[in-house]
Amino acid sequence: MSREQDIRRHYETRLSSDRANFDILDWASAESQRIRFAVLADNIDLHGKALLDVGCGLGDLYTFCRERGIEPEYTGVDLSEKMILAARRQNPAATFQCVDVFTDATLGAEQFDVVFCSGAFNLNLGNNRRFLLTALPRLVDLARGYAVFNLLHERTQYQEDGYFYCNPEDVLKMLRGLPCEPRLLDDYLPNDFTVICRKIRSGSG
Ligand SMILES: C[S@@+](CC[C@H](N)C(=O)[O-])C[C@H]1O[C@@H](n2cnc3c(N)ncnc32)[C@H](O)[C@@H]1O
C-alpha cells in the first residue's frame, strides 16, 4: 500500500458524525489541537494573508482563526477527498482542495504568504525521515513569507507504535541550505515542537 493510501485509510476510518473533530484527526484533545494553532497565530500575523493549511483535516484552523477575529485568505488542502468533503460541509465559506502538495505540482512556488502544516507528518509510515527531506523544501517553496510545521517530539514519554517522533536538531539540520531562517519552538506541549521558517531571498539586503 502506498504512503497516501496508508494516510487515507488511517484518517478516513476515524471519520464519523458521533466523534469530535480532534478525535477524528487523532489529536489527544481539542485543547492540544488548538495549542498547535495558537503557536502559529501568536507568532505570525495572519490577518488578510494568503494562508495555505497543508493537511487541513476538517478545516479547524479556519474555525480557530474566525473565533479569534482573524480573517486570512484561507485555503485548506488534504489528500483525503472524504476529509475535504466533510471540511466543506463544516465550513461552507472556506476554500478547500483535495491535493497532496508533496506529489502534485498544481500549487505553484510562493503562492501563499504563510504555509502551515500541523499533524501531517504524525504517522510512522516507515520512511518518514526520507520523506521529510523532500517535504520540507516543498513547504518552504510554497511560501512567500513563512512556512510553519510541527512534528511529534522524541522526548515524548509514552511513545505509541504507529507514530513518528523526531529530534528537533535533526530537523533543523534538514533545513540547512534552504532559503529560510528557522526558529524552533518547543515549550508549548511536552510531545510536540514547531519550526517557523522565515523565507529569505537571495540577493536581498
Ligand atoms: C493529524 S491530522 C491534522 C489535521 C489538521 N491539520 C488539524 O490540525 O486539525 C493530519 C491530516 O493531514 C493529512 N495529510 C497527511 N499527509 C498529507 C499530504 N501529503 N497532503 C495533504 N494532506 C495530508 C491527513 O489526511 C489528515 O487529514
For 106-118, what is each residue's pLDDT tens digit?
Answer: 999 989 999 999 9
> How would residue 204 be classed by pLDDT, with cut points 50, 70 and 90?
very low
All structural domains of the chain: 3-199 (3.40.50.150)
Mean pLDDT of 79-85: 97
Distance 48 CA to ligand 1 centre (A): 23
> Mean of the per-residue pLDDT values for the chain?
95
Whether the pTM exceeds 0.95: the reply is yes
> Beta-carbon neighbour count of residue 139 at 10 Å?
26
How many C-beta neighbours within 10 Å does residue 186 have? 14
Residues 12-46: pLDDT tens digits?
999 998 999 999 999 999 999 999 999 999 999 99
- Let me know: does 179 contact 126? Beta carbons within 8 Å: no
Most informative mutation of 25, 32, 90, 101 for ligand 1 (most atoms within 8 A of CB)? 25
Identify the pLDDT of residue 202.
64
